[in-house]
Structure formats: C-alpha cells, structure tokens
C-alpha cells in the first residue's frame, strides 16, 4: 500500500509534507513563545486609531469584493475590455462560437490531410 | 451477489429511472417517504457502482447486452456485428460511475434542506433522478446512438432543473440557454453519428473502432463531436453558457451539472482514444484539445477573478479546471501513437486528468454547496453585499476554505495531487504548458482569496448579526465532500492505484475494448 503518487521522475507524499509542516509549526511556536508578553486586552494598544479618531461602523470598514484587486484590473484594462465584450450573454453568439470552433478544426484537419 | 453484479450495469441506470417515475406517486402520500425512497435508492445505486467497480478492476471489462440470452453475448448467433443495445463498462466508465454516484447522493442530501419550502418538489426529484440516470447511461453505454439518447435525457432534465425556481427571471434565462446550447450540441452529435452510421452501418463504439478508416467523412464527424462535447463541458470559447447556467440553478443541481459536463468530457475522450484511436492525426487533434484547454484555463481564471457574484466566480473557475483536464487528455492523445512517450509521460498526463476529474467534482461541488448555503441564509450571491459571515457561519467558512485551497492546488489537498501529475508529465511534452498551468493556479488562489475575504472576513455586518449556520443536512452534505477531499489529498497513491490507473489503462487500451465486443462471436 503506497502513499506516494508517482509522476514519472518525481513523487508526492502528503504524509511527509504534513510531518515537515508540523515540525516547522513547532519551531515557529517555539520562537513565538520567546517573544515579550506585554499584550493586554482592553487598553489603548488594542484600539484601531491611537489618536482617538472614531472607528467607523462595520459597513464602512468592509472592503467590498468589487474593490479587491483594483490595480490588477486597471493594469489589464485593455485585456478585460476585450474579453468582457466577447461575453455578450446572447445565446445566438454562443452558437456562433460553436460553429467557429467546428469550422477552424475542420480547416486544420483538411490542411493536414492535403499536406500529409 | 454474482447475479446482482452481472445485472448491475443496467440496474444502475434502471433504478434511478424507476424511482424517478415512482417519486410523484409516493410524494402524494408522504414527503418523508418520498425523500427516504430517493436516498435509499441512490444509496443502493452507489453500492452497485462500487461492487461493479471492484468487479471491473478484478475481472476486466463488463458487458451487458439487452435482450440477449446471456448478458455477455454481444453478437447474436448468425450475425457478424453487434446489433442490440450494449452497455460496456471498463475502468474509465466505472470511474465516472463512481463520480456520478457520490455527487448525486450528496446533491440529494443537500436538497432535503435547501429545497425545503419550494413548491413542486415531486417534480424536482423526478427530474433530478432522470438526470442521474442519463449521466450513468452516458458513461456506461457502448453505442453511439444511446450516448445521444442519454445526452438528451440529461439535457432536457437539466434545463428544467436549472429553471426550476421559476420566480427568478435569471433562472428561466439560464434554463433557456442551457436547452438551446444542449439541443444544438445534441443534434450535431446525432448528425456526426449519422455520418458514421452511413459509412459503416454500425453504432457500437467497439465495432466502429474496429472498422474505422478515418475517411474525410470521419474527419468531419470528428470535428463535430469534438466541438459538441467541448461545448457541453464548457471549453473556451464555447463556455459562456456555463456561467449563465451554473450560477442560477439550485446549487444541488449545479453540482450535478458538473458531473454531466464531466460525462461530456468522458464522451470526448472515449471518442478520441477508443473510437478513433491511433487512426487519428494524433498530434493535430491532441493540440486542438490542448489549445481549447489552455484557453479554458487562462480565460476561465481571468474571468473568475473579475466576478462579484460568488456562483459566477466558481462557475468560471469550473471552466478553468476543465482546461487542466483537457490539457492532460490532449497530451495523452498527442502521444498515443508513440509508445515511448506514452509510457514515459503520456499515461501520467492522462492519469492526472482523470484524477482531476473526480477532484474537480468534489472541490467545485463543495464550493457550490457553500455558495448555496450563503444564499440560503442571506439571500444574495453578491460579494459586494457580504462580509464577516465567518463569525456566524463557521462550518460554512471552513468548508469554503477547504474547497478553495484544494481548487487552487495547494498541498496537501487533492487538487495538488492531481495537478502535480499533470504539471510534471505535461512539462516533458512542452514546458510552456506547465508554466501556464502554474500561473493559472496562482491566479486561482487569488480568486478564492478575494471570495473568502469578501464573504467571510472582516467585522460582521449589522444586518447579518443574527444569521445562523445552515441546517444539519446541508452541513452533512458538505461534510461528505470535505472528508473525501481530505482522504484523497492524504492518500493520493491509493486513489491512483485503485481507480485512476485502471481508468487510464482502459482509455489507452483500444484493443481490449474492441475485442470484448467483437471477440465474443459464438
């Protein structure tokens, strides 16, 4: 009974990985325990703003899903403009893509037959 | 027991079909009895599938000829070719059977709570069981015409189920798109089958494979079949229906739709590896499938990261994951005629793709169930309107994290195990494909970081302070997927040895498939 998924010239054994992970976690915990224990709940050090600024409510603090990776989408704006334009939501277009894939595949196979 | 196994392949299709038509009658008397019959029936089917899997792995291909004096009598006395309807179950068929059995059982358990309060539940379970029977039929059938029939059954029942919640306009739109796309694909499959039938006077896959000449008409049939099944599995650029459909169907149905899409992937591979086999322009057809796979991976994941609807996000991720499988299968097909390459890395690529099929069904299934749980409680799929749900829906949050990590291919989860098989074997074919795969996996992680962050982290929003965890049956359904994901992740070697490797061997062994049908002349 093997625990190894062999993939030709490498192998993957999750049990070894888990043991290694556990050892690393123990080492991390060891260093963490050696830290200074000054943290106290309910004091100024646990406040979000030390200056006394009022903390906004949860609704205002939450970063919305649509705002995540804003920079990524700005950088790839041209790609996204193009790719989103193709996703029309119109079922006729879906069938057109199907016909296009069939036609391109047929042309490729035809060329291969003629050349071969 | 031997008699049960002998008839198991037909029972696996017939039992859900029978219960499908009994469900409305039982449901009129008692809802609890109806639910119990559905659960017990599908559990029995799952038992039969595992018993059949054991038999196929130990004793080889299982055939069942309907109407014959003996189920294994594939060619009638005095005839030279198979005429009757034949089920031919080999390693890859039974592997797909296991996927359908697990997923359908989980889908029903989840539906018990998620569909509670909906009207027309008798019809819901009838359609669900029809879809299950269709999916089993697609993966067990040994002839092309019945493949079309079962494809139609899954399409029609699937469309009705997608549009089941008729009070939502987007559900009706999703159902409409599903039936249009499915009907076009099915009719083109029928057209391709007619081209083959016109030439060879055969419908049985094994018999056709033995007679295959790879004429110009065969080439035309091939491109039609590739395009039709690639559209049904959501391959780019024919993937656009998938996000419109998966995102609006009841999630227990979406989970089943994933298996139906995978049955189409299975059909595509059955046609490529067994029906056409080495007669193909292997490198060319292999690269066509790889190209669809790479496009699916890249466009799927880049579209997923942009979504703010959690179910559309997961749906696009499904497109992406299908790409990994297509690349694995494509590489296997491209080197099918080269024994050295096939032995060195081709079979590993196919094994990775097959292993990823079941992993994909599990982790994407889990993610959809989580999305359904969120919708069940807060009534929205919009990530912009979520936040802090991890405080009140702890189990749901943990399940999402598990599914997300597995989907992103992080160790030690099952997604990593199958992806590493694909990466390392595909690298030997063309390193660029592996580099794209790793890049796509990194973006997949970014997709789920966004979804998890938006839905579950942060301070709990005031409007969701009173939200509770979902009912126990929904938790139970998610737990089944989660446990299997962990087991598959921790013991990938066992899964590969027991069910993936036999499936791979069956897919590359065209001769055995043909001989099982044609070699049984009395």
Confidence of residue B522 (pLDDT cuts 50, 70, 90): very low
Q: How high does pLDDT run on average in chain B?
A: 95
Confidence of residue B79 (pLDDT cuts 50, 70, 90): confident
Chain A neighbours among B 42-71 (CB < 8 Å)?
Answer: none
| Contact (Cβ atoms closer than 8 angstroms) between residue B346 and residue B427 | no
B-chain residue closest to A101, CA distance = B227
Give the integer Cα–Cα distance in Å for B2 and B19: 24
Cβ contact (<8 Å) for B219 and A110? Answer: yes
Cβ contact (<8 Å) for B494 and A3? Answer: yes
Q: What's the average model confidence in pLDDT over B360-385?
A: 96
Cβ contact (<8 Å) for A87 and B303? Answer: yes
Give the closest-approach CA distance of B150 to chain A in angstroms: 21
Question: Which residues in chain A touch residue B345, judged by CB atoms under 8 angstroms apart?
Answer: 8
| Contact (Cβ atoms closer than 8 angstroms) between residue B62 and residue B7 | no
- The pLDDT score that the predictor gives to residue A6 is 61
Give the closest-approach CA distance of A96 to chain B in angstroms: 9
Q: What's the average model confidence in pLDDT over B221-247?
A: 97
Helix (H, G, I), strand (E, B) or coil at A97: helix
- The pLDDT score that the predictor gives to residue A9 is 59
Q: Beta partners for B62? A: B89
- The pLDDT score that the predictor gives to residue A8 is 54
Residue B391 forms contact with A (CB below 8 Å): no
Q: What's the average model confidence in pLDDT over B264-281?
A: 95
Q: Tokens for A38?
A: 């000054």
* The total number of residues written for chain A in this structure: 116
**What does pTM read for this prediction?**
0.95
Q: Tokens for B507?
A: 């897919």
Dump strand ranges (E) for B41-94: 62-65, 86-89
> Tens-of-pLDDT digits for all 116 residues of chain A?
344 656 555 678 899 999 999 999 999 999 999 987 777 777 777 777 878 788 888 888 888 889 999 999 999 999 999 999 999 999 999 999 999 999 999 999 999 989 87
Long-range contacts of the stretch A90-94 (C-beta < 8 A, 24+): A91/B176, A91/B177, A91/B180, A91/B181, A91/B241, A93/B240, A94/B177, A94/B180, A94/B181, A94/B231, A94/B238, A94/B240, A94/B241
Q: Tokens for A10?
A: 């490498």
Give the integer Cα–Cα distance in Å for B414 and B419: 9
B-chain residue closest to A94, CA distance = B238
Out of A95, A102, A108, whose CB is closest to B284? A108
Q: What's the average model confidence in pLDDT over B381-399?
A: 95
For residue range B137-191, list pLDDT tens digits in order: 999 999 999 999 999 999 999 999 999 999 999 999 999 999 999 999 999 999 9
Q: How many CB atoms lie within 10 A of CB A106?
A: 17
Question: Which residues in chain A touch residue B177, judged by CB atoms under 8 angstroms apart?
Answer: 91, 94
Per-residue pLDDT at B495 exceeds 90? yes
For residue range A21-46, list pLDDT tens digits in order: 999 999 999 999 998 777 777 777 77
Q: Tokens for B230?
A: 């690639």
Q: C-alpha B12: how far from its chain's center?
A: 17
Out of A58, A84, A113, whose CB is closest to B459? A58
Dump strand ranges (E) for chain A: 5-6, 11-12
| Contact (Cβ atoms closer than 8 angstroms) between residue B369 and residue B481 | yes
Show me where the domains of chain B are located. Answer: 281-490
- The pLDDT score that the predictor gives to residue A1 is 36
Residue B176 forms contact with A (CB below 8 Å): yes
- pLDDT-above-90 percentage for chain B: 93
Cβ contact (<8 Å) for B417 and A5? Answer: yes
Q: What's the average model confidence in pLDDT over B252-277?
A: 97
- The pLDDT score that the predictor gives to residue B521 is 46
Instruction: Tell me the pairing of strands B86-89 and A5-6.
Output: unpaired
Give the integer Cα–Cα distance in Å for B493 and B201: 43
Give the closest-approach CA distance of A36 to chain B in angstroms: 27
Q: Give DSSP secondary structure letters for B262-302.
A: HHHHHHHHIIIIIIIGGGS-HHHHHHHHHHHHHHHHHHHHH
- pLDDT-above-70 percentage for chain A: 91
- The pLDDT score that the predictor gives to residue A7 is 54
Give the integer Cα–Cα distance in Å for B53 and B51: 5
Q: Tokens for B384?
A: 């912009």
Q: Beta partners for B89? A: B62
Cβ contact (<8 Å) for A14 and B455? Answer: no
| Contact (Cβ atoms closer than 8 angstroms) between residue B101 and residue B55 | no
| Chain A contact probe: residue of B264, B412, B439 with most A CBs at under 10 A | B412
Out of B238, B305, B382, whose CB is closest to A69? B305
Give the closest-approach CA distance of B70 to chain A in angstroms: 37
Give the integer Cα–Cα distance in Å for B253 and B162: 7
Better-predicted residue by pLDDT, B118 or A95: A95
- The pLDDT score that the predictor gives to residue B234 is 96
Give the integer Cα–Cα distance in Å for B67 and B85: 8
Out of A5, A21, A105, whose CB is closest to B421? A5
For residue range B440-467, list pLDDT tens digits in order: 999 999 999 999 999 999 989 999 999 9
B-chain residue closest to A91, CA distance = B177
Cβ contact (<8 Å) for B493 and A4? Answer: yes
| Chain A contact probe: residue of B169, B240, B460 with most A CBs at under 10 A | B240
Confidence of residue B358 (pLDDT cuts 50, 70, 90): very high
- The pLDDT score that the predictor gives to residue A61 is 83
Nearest residue to B345 via CA among B285, B454, B427, B288: B427
- The pLDDT score that the predictor gives to residue B70 is 86
Ranking A98-112, B208-222, B234-248, B506-520 by mean pLDDT, the lowest is B506-520
For chains A and B, CB pairs below 8 A equal: 169
Question: Which residues in chain B touch residue A4, judged by CB atoms under 8 angstroms apart?
Answer: 493
Per-residue pLDDT at B347 exceeds 80? yes
Give the closest-approach CA distance of A99 to chain B in angstroms: 8
| Contact (Cβ atoms closer than 8 angstroms) between residue B126 and residue B20 | yes
């Amino acid at each position: 009974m093997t625990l190894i998924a062999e993939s030709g010239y490498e192998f993957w054994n999750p049990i070894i990985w888990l043991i290694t992970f556990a050892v690393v976690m123990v080492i991390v915990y060891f260093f963490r325990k050696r830290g200074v224990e000054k943290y106290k709940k309910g004091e100024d050090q646990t406040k979000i703003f030390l200056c006394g600024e009022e903390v906004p409510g949860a609704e205002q603090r939450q970063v919305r899903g649509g705002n995540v990776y804003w920079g990524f989408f700005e950088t790839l704006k041209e790609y996204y403009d193009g790719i989103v334009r193709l996703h029309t939501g119109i079922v006729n277009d879906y069938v057109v893509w199907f016909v296009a894939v069939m036609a391109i595949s047929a042309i490729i196979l035809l060329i291969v037959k003629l050349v071969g | 027991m031997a008699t049960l196994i002998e008839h198991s392949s037909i029972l696996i299709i017939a039992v859900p079909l029978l219960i499908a038509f009994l469900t409305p009658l039982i449901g009129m008397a008692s809802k609890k009895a109806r639910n119990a019959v559905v659960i017990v029936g599908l559990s029995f089917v799952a038992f039969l599938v595992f018993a059949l899997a054991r038999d196929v792995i130990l004793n080889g291909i299982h055939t069942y000829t309907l109407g014959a004096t003996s189920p294994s009598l594939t060619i009638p006395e005095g005839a030279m070719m198979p005429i009757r309807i034949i089920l031919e179950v080999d390693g890859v068929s039974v592997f797909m059977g296991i996927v359908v059995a697990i997923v359908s059982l989980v889908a029903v358990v989840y539906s018990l709570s998620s569909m509670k309060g909906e009207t027309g539940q008798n019809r819901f379970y009838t359609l669900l069981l029809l879809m299950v029977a269709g999916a089993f039929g697609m993966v067990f059938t040994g002839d092309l015409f019945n493949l079309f029939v079962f494809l139609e059954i899954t399409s029609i029942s699937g469309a009705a189920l997608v549009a089941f919640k008729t009070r939502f306009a987007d559900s009706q739109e999703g159902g409409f798109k599903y039936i249009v796309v499915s009907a076009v694909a099915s009719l083109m499959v029928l057209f391709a089958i007619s081209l083959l039938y016109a030439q060879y006077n055969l419908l049985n896959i094994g018999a056709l494979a033995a007679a295959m000449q790879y004429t110009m008409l065969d080439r035309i049939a091939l491109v039609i079949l590739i395009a039709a099944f690639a559209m049904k599995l959501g391959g780019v650029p024919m993937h656009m229906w998938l996000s419109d459909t998966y995102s609006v169907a009841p999630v227990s149905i979406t989970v089943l739709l994933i298996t139906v899409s995978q049955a189409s992937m299975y059909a595509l591979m059955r046609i490529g590896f067994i029906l056409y086999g080495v007669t193909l322009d292997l490198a060319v057809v292999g690269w066509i499938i790889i190209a669809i796979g790479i496009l699916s991976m890249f466009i799927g994941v880049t579209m997923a990261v942009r979504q703010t609807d959690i179910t559309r996000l997961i749906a696009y991720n499904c497109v992406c994951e299908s790409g990994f499988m297509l690349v694995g299968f494509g590489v296997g097909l491209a080197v099918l005629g080269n024994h050295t390459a096939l032995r060195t890395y081709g079979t590993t690529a196919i094994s990775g793709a097959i292993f990823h099929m079941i992993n994909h069904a599990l982790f994407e299934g889990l993610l959809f169930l989580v999305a359904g749980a969120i919708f069940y409680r807060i009534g929205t799929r919009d990530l912009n309107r979520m936040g802090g749900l991890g405080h009140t829906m702890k189990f749901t949050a943990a399940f999402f994290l598990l599914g997300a990590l597995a989907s992103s291919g992080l160790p030690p989860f099952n997604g990593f195990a199958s992806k590493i098989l694909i990466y390392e074997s595909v690298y030997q074919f063309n390193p660029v494909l592996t580099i794209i795969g790793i890049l796509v996996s990194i973006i997949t992680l970014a997709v789920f970081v966004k979804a998890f962050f938006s839905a579950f982290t942060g301070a709990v929003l005031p409007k969701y302070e009173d939200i509770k965890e979902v009912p126990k049956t929904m938790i139970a359904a998610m737990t089944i997927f989660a446990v299997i994901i962990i087991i598959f992740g921790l013991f990938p070697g066992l899964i590969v040895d027991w069910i993936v490797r036999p499936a791979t061997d069956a897919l590359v062994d065209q001769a055995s498939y043909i001989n099982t049908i044609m070699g049984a002349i009395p």
